[in-house]
Structures are given as C-alpha cells and as structure tokens.
Structure 1
Amino acid sequence: MMKDMGSSCLEDLCSHINAKISSVKNCIQLRDIGEDESRKPVLRKIQNEVYLIHDLLNKMEMIVKQQEKRKDLLKEIQKTAERDQKEAQHLLDHIPLYLPKPTKSCVTVPTGKQEGQNKAVEPKCAKKPAKGTVVIKEVALITTEEFESVPAYMKGRITYDQINAVVQQINKAVEGKYKILYQPLKSMSAPVRNLYHRFIEEETKDTKGVFFIVEADIKEFTQLKLDKRFHSILSILRHCQRVRELRGSGLIRYIIC
C-alpha cells in the first residue's frame, strides 16, 4: 500500500515537471518567433486584437453590473407596487359608508329664446355647455372633513347623512325651479306659468347672476319638512359656505354659493 502511494506521488510529480518543461519550451519557441521580422506584423495585429478584446470584456463587465443594479431596483419597485396594490385593494374593499357619493356641481338644461323672459347669468363651469343649453348651479355635498369642522353646538344630533340628504333635496328644488325659468312660455301649462311668474317676482337687483330658492320652492319640488332640524342644517350649510341668505320683501332667499 505504501509503495503504491509513493509510486502515485512520484508519477504526479513527474507529470507536473514535464508540464512545466513543456511550457518553458513553448515560451522559448514564442520568443524565437517574436524575433522573426516577418512575423512581427502578425504578432502586433494579434496584440491589438487582444487589447480590443480586453476593452470589450471590460465594457461588457460594466454593462452586466449595471443590469444587475437595474434588476435589483426593479425587484424593489415590484415589491413596492405589489404592496401599494394590496393597500389599494384593501381600501376599495373597505370604503366607508359615510363618504359622499359623486354629485354634479351643475346641471345643463335646454333653453329657448323668447321676449320678456329674464335670464340668469350663466355661472362659470369646468366644461362649456352645449349650444342652446343653460348651466344650473348645484350645492356640492359636504365632505367628512367639513362635517368634523362644524362646531358641536351647531350639529347637535344631526348626522352627516342627514345633511347631505338635505343638500340633494335643495339641488332638486334648484333644478326644478330653473328648468321652468328656462322653458319657453308658450310650452307651459297654467300652473307652471304661475310658478314662472312667481319666480320672476321674487328676483331683485341683488339676485342678478346667481341661483337661489325660497322655502316655497322647497315645498313645491321636495318632500322636506321645514322644521327646526331643517333650519339647523341650513345653518351648517351656511357655515360650510354652501348657501348664503338674502332677505328682502318678506322673503328669505337661499343663494347657492
């Protein structure tokens, strides 16, 4: 056994020495070739090619490192996007019931040209109405932040939903009134014409260019009870700058802000 191990080590050593000798012989041969004038141009060309390959390898190494950095960055972005998606889905699945539903800030209605018909000044709106239509301004719903900012003595037991329910009814009354105002007289029935004339009589120089309603309009177009709670909600709407009051000739005009 010991002889076999000694023999194996000696053979490996001989192979190693022979390999070194072979490498030395190759180096001597290459040195001799390098001294050959006829082969120097080829060797220089090979040397230049080696330099070019070396530069190319360095550039490739830099590109690979940049790609690795981008890959790591993309992984981080992917993790962030997945986290944001989960949070967004959670918010979508748990939308609070007390948030207001989307509502229009204005309504467009067709109108006809006619003599003697007063016409309110068209308020500014985000989108230009189509030709032959008039924009009717509406009260925007109260937000949860605005509701929280209302003083406790003013809110009492009034809830957020009750306020926005009144807002929707006020908008219904505004729309009902101004649809009649912008309707041609010849197309009106007798009761509607009476309403039209009342609307005209209630206008003053201070109401020019604004939209407003009175309590009679609320009774006419809605089922709201004009009780203490209703007037408390109106106070909240004034506080939130949704409406303002204009008094005169025994009437309280609620102007849409």
Structure 2
Amino acid sequence: MMEDTESTVMEDFCLHINTKISNIKKYFKLRKIGKEKHLKGLLQKIGKDMILLNVLLDKMETEVNQQEKMKHLLQELQQAAERDLKEAQHLLAHIPPHLPKPAQKSVPVPTVKHEEQMKVAEPEPAKRPEHAKKPEPAKQPAKAKRVIKNMALITAEEFALVPAYLKGRLGYNQINAVIEEINKAVVGKYKIMHRPLKSMTFTARNLYSRFIEEETKDTKGEFFIVDADIKAFTQLTLDKRFHNILSILRHCHRLREVRSGKLVHYIIC
C-alpha cells in the first residue's frame, strides 16, 4: 500500500517537471519569434487583436449586466400580472347574476311660479251673517309640473349583449359618462323651453328661437337635442368615438335619430 502511494506522488512530480520544461521551451520559441523581423508584424497584429478582444469583452459584460437587470424587471412584471390575473378571476367568479337597472331620471320643472308664494297674507274680512254670505270661488287646480325626460344608464346586462364590432375598445363606464352628458344637454335645453319669455335673457331668447326652428312634425311631442345643443351644454367632442357611442345607444334603444335635411335630431327614447 505504501509503495502505491509513493508511486503516485512520483508520477505527479514527474508530470509537474515535464509541464515546466514544456513551458520553458515555449518561452524560448516566443523569444526567437520576437527577434525574427518577418514575424514582428504578426506579433503586432496579434497585440492589436488582443486589445480589440478586451474591448469586446467589456461590452459583452455591460450587455450581460443590462440583460440581468431586464430579467429582474420582467420577473417583477410577471408577478404583478399574476396577482392582477388572480384578482380578475376572483371578481369574475363573484359577479352577481344581474345588476339593478337604474331608475330613469326625471327633472321636474315648474311652468310658472306659484302666485301664493308671491302674495303677502291679507287679513280675513269680517264674518257676515249666513244669509249675506257670498258663494266661495272655485279653487284653482294646482299647476302641473312639466317633467324633462332623461336617458336611462346602460346596465351591465345590456352592455354584455352589445355586439363586439360596436363596442370595440369602449368600456361600460365610458358609455354611461356620455349618457350623463347628453342628459345635461336635454335638461339645459328644456329648462329654457319651459321658461316664460319675459324672464329670458338675450342669450336664452336666441337659443329658444333656434329650438323652435329645429322642431319638425317628426319631433313634435318628443324630447330631442341636436349637435349644437351638445356643444352648448356639454364638454363632449363630436368625434368618431362619440358617434360610435351613439350607435351603441341606438342599439340599446336609448335614442333614435331623425334627419331633416342636414340636421340630425337625437330623440330620447
């Protein structure tokens, strides 16, 4: 056993000595190459290539570091996306079977002010004998209040049934936001329409005149607005997106369009 160990050590020692001798021979060869004129150019070219190789290695190291940072960022994004996906799946699994349809808004507008509120209370006359009593005048019926018709909001069930080619990238809340703006225009218009002419300002009278001119036999008795009303009473932009939403509202029977020449009347359903 002892002999085998000594043999192994001796072999390793011999290998080490032979390696050293081989390296010394290579050194001598390289020294000879440096002294030979026709090989100096080759050595200079090798030196330049080594410098370029070092530059490339530095760039590669920088790129590897950037890729490592990008990898960490992508991992964080993946984790965030997985969390959002779990939340979305949870919400999807717990959607109620139906959402209540919002009640249609109505804005009461009195036709005239009650005279009773304007008059000062008068003292009651002295009582007369029964035979001298005058017949009491018939009581005036209470003034009826006019109601401005508003467009009801779209429910989640209705939105789910809208064809995909109509919805595009539009969301449920975006459509209802436009409905609320259209309702503002309707209320703004018909508040002016229901006011007495004597109480109107110059601007309101001009609007009133336009409202009357825009009425046709097809719009008689209906609540409607036109593009000019939307511009006057809302901040909406009458662009392609707006007209796409109008198509959805027509599909959901919230409004219908009646054309009179170039003018389009949006009638509230």
Residue pair 1:180, 1:192 contacting (<8 A) in 2 also: yes
Give the CA deviation at 1:101.
Answer: 8.8
1:36-75 aligned at under 5 Å gives the runs none
Q: What one-letter code is carried by the residue in structure 2 that aligns with 1:254?
A: Y
Residue pair 1:141, 1:167 contacting (<8 A) in 2 also: yes
SS at match of 1:140: coil
Residue pair 1:112, 1:132 contacting (<8 A) in 2 also: no
Which residue does 2:110 correspond to in 1?
Answer: 110
1:161 aligns with 2:165: no
Which residue does 1:238 correspond to in 2?
Answer: 250
- Cα pair distance change 1:176/1:161, threshold 3 Å: same
Inter-partner Cα distance in structure 1 for 2:95 and 2:159: 18
Of the three residues 213, 216, 223, the one matched with 2:235 is 223
SS at match of 1:252: strand
Unaligned runs of 5+ in 1: 1-93, 114-129
Give the CA deviation at 1:112.
Answer: 3.5
SS at match of 1:223: coil
Residue pair 1:100, 1:141 contacting (<8 A) in 2 also: no
Inter-partner Cα distance in structure 2 for 1:112 and 1:250: 35
Residue pair 1:169, 1:222 contacting (<8 A) in 2 also: yes
1:249 aligns with 2:261: yes
- Cα pair distance change 1:158/1:138, threshold 3 Å: same
- Cα pair distance change 1:160/1:183, threshold 3 Å: same
> Which contiguous aligned blocks of 4+ residues in structure 1 show a shift greater than 6 angstroms?
none
What RMSD in Å do the two structures reach over aligned CA positions? Answer: 2.3
Residue pair 2:101, 2:155 contacting (<8 A) in 1 also: no
Inter-partner Cα distance in structure 2 for 1:112 and 1:205: 27
TM-score of the two chains, using structure 2 as the length reference:
0.51
Unaligned runs of 5+ in 2: 1-93, 114-141
Inter-partner Cα distance in structure 1 for 2:248 and 2:100: 16
SS at match of 2:148: strand
Inter-partner Cα distance in structure 2 for 1:249 and 1:153: 29
Q: What one-letter code is carried by the residue in structure 1 that aligns with 2:261?
A: S
Equivalent pairs counted in the alignment come to: 147
Deviations 1:204-228 (A, max 9, x none): 1111111000010000000011111
Give the CA deviation at 1:95.
Answer: 8.8
Deviations 1:173-211 (A, max 9, x none): 000000000000000000110000000000011111110
Q: What one-letter code is carried by the residue in structure 1 that aligns with 2:109?
A: V
Which residue does 1:6 correspond to in 2?
Answer: none
Deviations 1:15-70 (A, max 9, x none): xxxxxxxxxxxxxxxxxxxxxxxxxxxxxxxxxxxxxxxxxxxxxxxxxxxxxxxx
Residue pair 1:100, 1:142 contacting (<8 A) in 2 also: no
Q: What one-letter code is carried by the residue in structure 1 that aligns with 2:217?
A: K
SS at match of 1:207: coil
SS at match of 2:235: coil
1:109-188 aligned at under 5 Å gives the runs 109-112=109-112, 131-188=143-200
Report the identity percentage: 71
